[in-house]
Structure 1
């Protein structure tokens, strides 16, 4: 994601820059799933454009367990102003979950839902959605993965327990650090651990390496004064622990409650490449001329 500038007459005609911080808040949406008309779960998803070399296919990335057994999904999208800026108008759309691309490894809890049904519904209104979309260019390079420090500053954007800004329909941002090094696979899996409070509803939240005011480059032994924002992972869960809450010594009874460790498990963003491969096969199998979607989104 790069800085996006747009005209805003309401601010004296000056260009307004949609900074990296503002962009990451517009790349996510709250997901509510249903089956038989009854609510199943609340989670988070983020916008990602796959197969860029084929024209691009916009999808909503989340976890497999979020859409498992679900029939429909409700998401909210901001509409775009005439000057290209995000408006305060939001449309809520419910659609059938019938176009899902799953990560080929059953042990990797990652999937992508086609965003085209949502965007087509908004176009029927004569409007365009405002979303900031992540692409493969937002992932670290192979060299960057290797050279990251064992402890890095990160942010997670999502809807823990469904909480968010209900008026402006924006997510909550949480800050933390990597609990395990980004350069290695935690427990031999394509994952890393984050040190931040992670709750149900945060599943599917994107995790960004986030250095808004610059960072120290250890390889070059110098401080770099430009922002560094990279998509490094997707949260899928966290380790609960059982704590003794009450002990009744006379009756020799103990009551335990589940307490969070404030740790989270994140799938490495490199696994989006495998998902891109799945979507690529689906796109190439389509009839000529329909290889990628054509949408007016930010």
Structure 2
């Protein structure tokens, strides 16, 4: 792992079983479980039938080029086989984020960058982001900062290792504020089909404090900012013109989706809330306008 950027290990290609489509997904740990994150339109496209299954891979710890493909049924749809923002009645909303529970438990990505040489907690080649790696109220990322988007543009990859590609993008709107009252921000970059569901990540250079030379975060060299979604286009007379502007849904959405499901399935919701607060004490430290925007979408969907 030391020879390559460890952020590569967080991402997988997603193949949709009943279509020729493919997309990108990444792993996310919350409490005792690992989830696969992608876009909702990957599972429920507007112009095609819903997915019946998805295939993704887990990397071998001893050989990152060795991947084990896993098939996961999503035939039962939203709020059963996978989760989205909104009510449990399957009500629709426009937040383009889907969270799929998987049976594998992956090591935390943060263990790779904060282990100080101790790899005892690292047992899987693929790794997962966690709430500890999201931006909180003390972190600083601004419009104009360069970020990384990791995925599989137009199917381009190393066919021997399935290592994804890193793309540079620039944050175009104030990070932490909703865009057009949606819980998303805008990035400026040329993105292609296949990148849907890619993580948007601030790396060490973005998080470096120019005044002190240290990181602008407490301990992390990487921070998960959002989930890449669609591209903005301008309608022309006979075609569309790409604006090279893209939607990124705020990563805080993941916590709200998962907390809703974890608490509702718990025999003791109050105890579950207490455990969440104990494990992730900063989980609600973010701009109140953004959280209000996310919750407003959830209420509208119910």
The residue that corresponds to 1:134 in the other structure is 129
Unaligned 5+ segments in structure 1 are 1-15, 120-127, 245-255, 287-298
Give deviations 1:196-239, integer Å, cap 9, x for gaps.
1122211110001123486225xxx4332687411001011111
TM (norm. structure 1) is 0.71
Higher radius of gyration, 1 or 2: 1
Is it true that 1:232 corresponds to 2:225 in the alignment? Answer: yes
Instruction: Quickly say closer, same or farther: Cα 1:92–1:271, change in 2 above 3 A.
Output: same
Q: Kindly tell me: are residues 118 and 149 of structure 1, through their superposed partners in 2, closer, same or farther at Cα, counting changes over 3 Å?
A: closer
Q: Which residue of 2 aligns with 1:90?
A: 67
Question: Partners of 1:208 and 1:96 in 2: how far apart?
Answer: 28
SS at match of 1:154: strand
Alpha-carbon distance in 1 for matches of 2:247, 2:207: 26
Equivalent residue number for residue 3 of structure 1: none
Once the two structures are superposed, the pairs formed by residues 44-193 of structure 1 within 5 Å of their partners are 44-50=24-30, 52=31, 56-68=32-44, 69-81=50-62, 86-97=63-74, 98=76, 99-104=81-86, 106-116=93-103, 129-144=124-139, 147-193=140-186
SS in 2 for 1:24: helix
Residue 40 of structure 1, CA deviation? 4.9
| Aligned residue number for residue 223 of structure 1 | 213
What displacement does 1:76 show?
2.2
Report runs of 4+ in structure 1 exceeding 4 Å deviation: none
Q: Deviations over 1:215-269 (max 9, x none)?
A: 225xxx433268741100101111122456xxxxxxxxxxx33232211100011
Any idea what the Cα deviations from partners look like across 1:31-67, whole Å, max 9, x if unmatched?
11123xxx152111100012x2xxx211101111111
Whole-angstrom distance in 2 between the partners of 1:172 and 1:181: 26
Change (3 A) 1:183 1:118: closer
Instruction: Call closer, same or farther: CA 1:215–1:162 in 2, change over 3 Å.
Output: same
Q: Is the 8 A contact 1:153 1:211 kept in 2?
A: no
Gaps of 5+ in 2: 45-49, 88-92, 107-122, 269-302
* Corresponding residue pairs, total: 234
CA contact (8 A) 1:30 1:162 kept: no
Q: Comparing both structures, which one devotes a greater share of its residues to strand?
A: 1
**Cα pair distance change 1:222/1:42, threshold 3 Å:** same
Closer, same or farther: CA 160–60 of 1 in aligned 2, 3 Å:
same
**Superposed displacement of residue 177, structure 1:** 1.1
Question: CA contact under 8 A between 1:158 and 1:202: conserved in structure 2?
Answer: yes
Following superposition, the deviation at residue 129 of structure 1 comes to 4.8
Is the CA contact 1:100–1:114 (under 8 Å) kept in the aligned structure 2?
yes
